[in-house]
Amino acid sequence: MTYFPPFIPQSDPPLPPWETLPTMYDLPSDNPEEPGLPDDFHFLQPLLLYLTFQPINWNPELVYSAADLNLYYTIDHPLWYKRPDWFGVVGVQKLYKGQDLRLSYVTWQEPAKPFVVVELLSAGTEEEDLGIKKSATDKPPSKWEVYEQILRIPYYVVFSRYTNELQAFQLVGGHYEPMTLTQGRILMPEIELSLGLWQGSFRDIERLWLRWFTLAGELIPEPTEEAEKAKRKAAQLAERLRQLGVNPDDLD
């Protein structure tokens, strides 16, 4: 009589742990009580704005900007604050009272309020950023309400990296009015700058970025771009000298 061993079904081999653990798409990148905390884009995009915010008609020593910094906006409720993704101020020293790096921006202790604010849209902040969601009477006001009605910030810019939509609002008669872009840029003649979208590489990441231009549309270079431009000019000069029979390596 032939013996047949009992059939034992073979189980699939276990998945490696990196295929079962939650990914960055599964885990929240924000705090439910404070939506919109920074991710990579929320670090890099404000950094580019910071590096290129150079109002042409202002002394650089009196230009300040910050990203993800608490902005305290009313003495009536001194603990209330908003945290813009980026904001720029003119007429203010880079150091608090010329002495210390800021821990926050307290508007009632500063000589000027922000001139322009940029918010980067995310799913958790869109309604507040665009003024769709109004705050309850017993709660702090929304960002839109603070920027428009309390601080009266002249320019408010909203950008979505998901749709590449750029929206801008200018304070007119005490209310924000949508702005019409000029050749794809937001003109701010008071500081002789414009803000628009640029396709290019920043920190080795190619994508559509929001960045500062002159009013005429020339890019305001960030430091690595300035260094590269200087390097190209030096190479061109060296080549010109060689054409004239001069070895640039022999020059002091």
pLDDT (tens digit per residue) in 198-239: 999 999 999 999 999 999 999 999 988 666 668 676 667 667
Residue 147 lies inside a defined structural domain of this protein: yes
CATH number of 116's domain: 3.90.1570
**Domain range spanning residue 242?**
221-252
> What whole-number percentage of the chain has pLDDT above 90?
63
Q: Which helix (H) or strand (E) holds 155?
A: strand 155-160
pLDDT in tens, 99-127: 999 999 999 999 999 999 999 997 777 77
Helices (H), 139-203: 143-145
Would the pTM of this model clear 0.75, i.e. be above it? yes
In a domain, 27, yes or no: yes
pLDDT at 179: 98
165 and 242 assigned to the same domain: no
Helix (H), strand (E) at residue 169: strand 165-172
Mean pLDDT of the chain: 86
pLDDT in tens, 74-100: 989 999 999 999 999 999 999 998 999
